Structure 1
Amino acid sequence: MAMGSTMCQQDVGCELRKRAYGVSLLSFIEGLVAMGSMISQLDAAYVLRGLALPLAASWVVILAAGGAAALYCARLLAGLAVGGISAVAPVYIAEIAHSSVRGTLGSFFQLMITIGVLYTYCVGAAAPYHALAGACLAPVVVFCVAFFFMPETPSHLLTKGRRRDAVRALLRLRGAQYDYRDEIALLQAEVDESSRRKASVRDVLRSPAARRGLLLSLGLMAIQQLSGINAVVFYTSTIFKEAGSSLSPSAAAIVVGVVMAAATLASSLLMDRLGRRALLLLSTAVMAVALAVLGLHIHLALQGVGWLPLVCVCVYIVVFSLGMGPVPWLMMGELFNPEAKSIASAASVFTNYLLVFVITKTFEPMSSALGTAVVYWIYAGLCAAGAVFVFFLVPETKGKTMQQIQEMLATGKTS
């Protein structure tokens, strides 16, 4: 799901947010290319601290003013911040994490998204509109304060020739007793090699490793959204209602949020044990089956099995949260060498949010024209195609150094 997928429980607020969604999308379409250039010049921690300010400002605008115009302005600010954070945070995590735990830490990005969504669902179910805005502002303030104490990444410090500072940052991240010499030597070698290959974007993308990394990242982001996750989650309350569930829309949303957060937490624990490919293959294959069965139930209007749609939706959300939810964000931070990272990450995030907009806006027209069952079958087919994409093209990056990953990409190997 997109980071900005928070929900207002009031009908008027929800409608305004739907109208503002396109405006919000435009903000990070315009801002991500600039963000891609910024990250190549600035440290990711510095950029993240700066992006927290427009995010906080968006909630202040909502608290201070009312009406559609204020909401449009707030969503523009939030869209810029969310788009930038989505491009920078996975890169920052990948650069500070040791290869042995990079999968677990990288999956925390999606975990925090699901926890944030669940937090918003719970507060929104019990609080009025402005109280919800205030509750959403509080975590942003905590982030602003906490991130001032986060170190710059050792890789970035080495690119600036600040080796002593890079060693200090590494010791802060690994512990004062850590023997940093081998890791700092490896990072220095990667930085030196990157500086020798310094070139234009066009030259960078002539590299087989960079081209394949970009293809894989864009493909995973496309599969994540073309699986229909936002359409399924957005219409979960309708599915529950048609299945005969007595849950209110807010209660259904909370149930979905709990399931997504719990499954994403499980994914973070499994990421460095099972590997990325296994979770992606499990996720796409089971999602395809769940959506196909859900479409069949709707098409045949089956009686006496009202529980079946609920099971399909829950299974779909669980396996999405295990694989297709966190892994594309994690691998976006793993696949690119330093000179390709800025533009490639920006392109990946742009693709993701563009498809969020497309899927959300086309679900109802497609359902009206083709029938809801057919739409779910289309999503099922896209999930199956995603499983094929993963099986033949996506490499296993578990436990690999950045240099080893680049060598795999250059040679086309998947393991």
Structure 2
Amino acid sequence: MDKAKSSGTEREGESSEQNPITLRRMACVLLVASTPFLNGMMVGWTAVLPKLQEDDRFPVTDEDVTWLVSLMLIVGIPVSPLAGTLAEHLGPRRLMFLGMCPVAGFWLLQAFTPNLSLLYVGRTAASVSAAMVCTMVQPLVAELCPSRVRGLASTMPEVMSCVGVLLGYVLAYRLPWDVATAVSAAPFLPLALAILLVPESPYWLVRKKRIEAAERSLRLLLGRDGRVAEELEAIRSTTTQRQSQVRDQVRELRKTHNAIPVVLALGIVILRELGGKGPVFSYTVYIFNDAGVQLDAFYCTVFVGIARFASTCVTACTLDLVGRKPLLAATAAICAVSEGVAGAFLFLEVEGAAWVPLASVIVFVVGYGVGLGPIPWVYLGELLPTPVRSLGAALITFAYSVTLFAINLVFLKAVSALGLGLTLLLFAGANLAIVPLVLLCIPETKGRTLQDLERAFTPARKTGVQAEDNPAFELESDWFDLAEREKYGACSLHTTAMKEKCKN
């Protein structure tokens, strides 16, 4: 009897595996995954700042340059948790559209600004949109995408971000700063309008008790041959009315089986930022010059950007074959070793070894692009449980912004106090700490449905299988949710008391 129930639950969790991968579904996922192109363009745009300082339209000091570079991270600190709250009220797809819609205007405001104040306004407003995109993209991709290709789909935001960075660098190098800024506006209005073609997340619709709307969303994604009823029931198995408000998700986050995956994903992201990713990418020229390697600043940044883009594309093509866990652990170790080797050579002041830091940075960039960069973001969609996915993503993005800003802020001071070699050794230690955390605590997410991954952190007595035999557990369930399940023929109530409650 128990085996039969277990098999039934497994079939329910695997319903998405049986659904076809429709062209419309993949187009919707690709549109959502393309939105971090904005984040990449925002980062790449900073390459125009030297030309902006040379322009006599208005004065731009070195302090202004520092603030304009850091503005994205500063804005991301308050906006990320706000985005998680707004997503629960408006819907993640609608929030993404509202965030992207005015972006083209923000770019044009920066391009044709008559003074520095309006440049700050445009940069700040665009940073708000970028923070919203960064917070919501991975959860929404995971909820729209079939598990068979979720690795590829979840890596696409990182790929599009790399494309945006490279395009920003090229525009900054080839065009005057104002023309480069104006041209940067071109892709964003069509992209914002295209997001209107994407249906709302069925998980969010179920949380809001809009079952019919969730069914319509699934029909658009799965097509005529899709098993909509099975997919809807799989979503309903981990989604209830008790998750419909932010305060409900805060209450859910207090539960151990929901808190553990959030804490694990948070730990990986914080350790990655403590591992010096920001300084390596932001101060590449400084690191090379300190090591005695003389390279043109533009060619250095473009070279690093191309290496990161190429390695991330490799990940997109292989993540669903290799798996997340071994790739993340291996690349974290590679990044740690590359920083450790460079740090040791600089600390020991080995003569005639200027090529070692250069080679180490290249290895770090490739290792980061293959696994350490994209996979922690993939976990925001896959590892976080359905009841707290939006809230957890907001908290992790908030912690990412705070940590990255702090590391970038203190990097040069740390180098001045400790030396570049010892600083890189400390970065290597943080990356190395990721390896045991991943190997010992993180389950493999490749090919597993979101419902199956949630059960990985849920005690056996709280799974759907055990709940059928446990009336006490059923009494704790949401009454409206049980009534809706009975209406759709999707639940079986085993106690007279619970039947009477549903009827009432």
Query: Is TM-score (shorter-chain normalized) higher than 0.5?
Result: yes
2:360 to 312, 315, 318: 312
Distance in structure 2 (CA, Å) of the matches to 1:225 and 1:195: 31
Q: 1:46: how far off?
A: 0.6
Contact kept in structure 2, 1:60 and 1:137, CA below 8 Å: yes
Matched, 1:89 2:128: no
Q: Which AA in structure 2 matches 1:409?
A: F
* Secondary structure at 1:190 match in 2: coil
Counterpart residue number, 1:20? 68
Task: Quote the offset at 1:197 in angstroms.
Answer: 11
- 1:350 is displaced (CA, Å) by 0.5
Match of 2:343 in 1: 295
Partner of 1:70: 118
Work out whether residues 328 and 438 of structure 2, in 8 Å CA contact, stay in contact via their aligned partners in 1: yes
Q: 1:26-37 residue pairs with structure 2 within 5 A?
A: 26-37=74-85
> What residue in structure 2 maps to residue 328 of structure 1?
376
Distance 1:173 1:316 in 2: 38
**TM-score relative to the length of structure 1:** 0.91
Q: Structure 1: which 5+ residue stretches go unaligned?
A: none
Aligned-partner residue type, residue 165 of structure 2 = V
Correspondence 1:182-197 to 2 at 5 A: 182-192=230-240
Asked if 1:352 corresponds to 2:400, the answer is yes
| Cα 1:242/1:198, change in 2 over 3 Å | closer
Identify the residue that residue 147 of structure 1 maps to in structure 2: 195
The normalised TM-score by structure 2 is: 0.76
C-alpha spacing 1:176/1:248, structure 2 compared with 1 (3 Å): farther
Post-superposition Cα deviations, 1:180-201, rounded to whole Å, max 9, x if no partner, equal: 3322221232224865999645
Shift of 1:243: 5.7
Q: How does 1:14-413 map to 2 (within 5 A)?
A: 15=62, 16-192=64-240, 200-241=248-289, 247-411=295-459
- Pair 66,359 (structure 1): closer, same or farther in 2 beyond 3 Å: farther
CA distance in 1, matches of 2:226, 2:250: 40
Q: Distance in 1 between matches of 2:77 and 2:304?
A: 29
Q: Is the Cα–Cα contact under 8 Å of residues 108 and 268 in structure 1 kept in the other structure?
A: yes
Deviations 1:306-338 (A, max 9, x none): 332221111101111111211111111122333
AA partner of residue 50 (structure 2) = D
Over 3 Å counting, the alpha-carbon distance change for 1:147 and 1:200 in structure 2 is closer
* 60-69 or 161-170, which deviates more: 161-170
CA distance in 1, matches of 2:124, 2:296: 31
Seq. identity, %: 25
Distance (Å, rounded) in 2 between the aligned partners of 1:23 and 1:320: 24
Match of 2:43 in 1: 5
Whether the 8 Å contact between 2:101 and 2:193 is mirrored in structure 1 is no
Q: Offset of 1:98 from its aligned partner? A: 0.8
CA contact (8 A) 1:31 1:84 kept: yes
1:295/1:372 contact within 8 Å kept: yes
Say if 1:145 and 1:200 are closer, same or farther in 2 by CA, change over 3 A: closer
Whole-angstrom CA distance in 2 between matches of 1:169 and 1:73: 37
- When structure 1 is superposed on structure 2, of 176-185 and 277-286 the one drifting more is 176-185
Query: How far, CA to CA, are the matches of 2:140 and 2:68 in structure 1?
Result: 30
Cα contact 2:79–2:132 (8 A) shared by 1: yes
Q: Find the aligned partners of 1:197 and 1:135 in 2 and give their Cα distance.
A: 40
Change (3 A) 1:72 1:205: same
- 1:13 positional shift: 4.3
CA contact (8 A) 2:332 2:435 kept: yes
Cα distance change on mapping 1:36 and 1:26 into 2, 3 Å: same
Q: How many equivalent pairs are there?
A: 412
CA shift, 1:246, in A, is: 5.8
Distance 1:274 1:134 in 2: 41
Structure 2 Cα separation of the partners of residues 140 and 224 of structure 1: 30
Return the letter of the residue paired with 1:127. L
Partners of 2:458 and 2:215 lie apart in 1 by 30
Shift of 1:127: 1.3
Deviation at 1:241, TM superposition (A): 4.4
Deviation at 1:249, TM superposition (A): 0.8
What is the DSSP-based 3-state SS (H/G/I as helix, E as strand, rest coil) of the residue aligned with 2:225?
coil
CA deviations 1:376-399 (Å, max 9, x no partner) are: 001001111121222222221112
Deviation at 1:245? 5.3
Q: Distance in 2 between matches of 1:188 and 1:339?
A: 11
**SS at structure 1 position matched to 2:254:** coil
RCO comparison, higher one (Cα < 8 Å, 6+) = 1
Q: Which has the larger radius of gyration?
A: 2
Which segment is superposed worse, 74-83 or 343-352?
Answer: 74-83
The question of whether the paired residues in 1 share the 8 Å contact of 2:106 and 2:125 is answered with yes
* Distance in 2 separating the partners of 1:246 and 1:376: 20
Change (3 A) 1:198 1:290: closer
**What is the rounded CA distance, in whole Å, between the counterparts of 1:195 and 1:30 in structure 2?**
23
What runs of 5+ residues in structure 2 fail to find an aligned partner? 1-35, 54-61, 461-504
What value does the CA root-mean-square deviation take over the aligned residues? 2.5
| CA distance 1:296–1:196, change in 2 (3 Å) | closer
Report how far residue 140 of structure 1 moved.
1.7
Q: In structure 1, how many angstroms separate the alpha carbons of the residues matched to 2:187 and 2:350? A: 45
Q: Which moved more, 1:103-112 or 1:57-66?
A: 57-66
Q: Mark the CA change 1:168 to 1:43 in structure 2 (over 3 Å): closer, same or farther.
A: same
Kindly provide the amino acid, as one letter, of the partner of residue 55 in structure 1: V
